[in-house]
Amino acid sequence: MQKSDMQKSNKPLRIDIVSDVVCPWCIIGYRQLAEALENTNTAHEIHWHPFELNPNMPAEGQNLREHVMEKYGRSAQDSEESRIKMTAAGAEVGFEFQFIDGARIYNTFSLHQLLHWADQQGRRHDLKQALFTAHFTNNRDVSDKATLADIAAEIGLDRAEAQAVLDDQRFTQEVRDSEQRSRERGIQSVPAVIFNDRHLVSGAQGVENYTRILEQLAEITE
């Protein structure tokens, strides 16, 4: 597909994405959207917002396969087929999933506080991408505070400050408030993508569908 100037006005398209780092379709959906944005040469700005898939998950997390079977009522075969599907969908947009037998899913409340802190330094997007890779590709424990501080340091953020943010939980209220605003908008599942603060699109739509959405939005703004 050839690139074209989809965004006719000088104002970039605002894109708010509500997601969780332990949600596989969140990174797949984002990568699909990013490809559509590049293909259409759409000027844009992305704003990430927190969502907890498992707010009541204990600190030690849970085996991922057991969690999926328990929460969604799926069989072991269903779980395996889903992993194959997600791995293929990730590969199509350049993201690598490594689903090992011992893979775990974790609570992400502290992680979202760290992302809020990174946002104050203009690095939320970078940290978000690093966390997706840490969890799904490298199977790191993204609920462990030391691991989270390490990941922050790996992208050039101050490790000691990251550790302090996690230890004192200083952004608890900010994350809770953001989650509440999403609930008030009726968002109960992720990924949820809001264009120009008006048009809500749920789920990973695929590159072609995102491209059509961007084309329609460009027509509206002409």
CA atoms within 13 A on the CB side of 108: 22
Q: What is the pTM (predicted TM-score) of this model?
A: 0.93
The structure tokens listed for 122 are: 């203009």
User: Which domains are assigned to the chain?
Assistant: 13-57+108-221 (3.40.30.10), 62-105 (no CATH)
Q: Quick one: pLDDT at residue 219?
A: 87
**Degrees, nearest 5: CA angle 39-88-67:** 120
pLDDT tier for residue 222 given thresholds of 50, 70 and 90 = low
Report the run of H or E that residue 87 belongs to, with start and end. Answer: helix 76-92
Residues 130-147 have pLDDT tens digits of 999 999 999 999 999 999
Measure the N-to-C terminal CA separation of the chain; round to a whole number of Å. 22
**Are the C-beta atoms of 183 and 200 separated by less than 8 Å?**
no
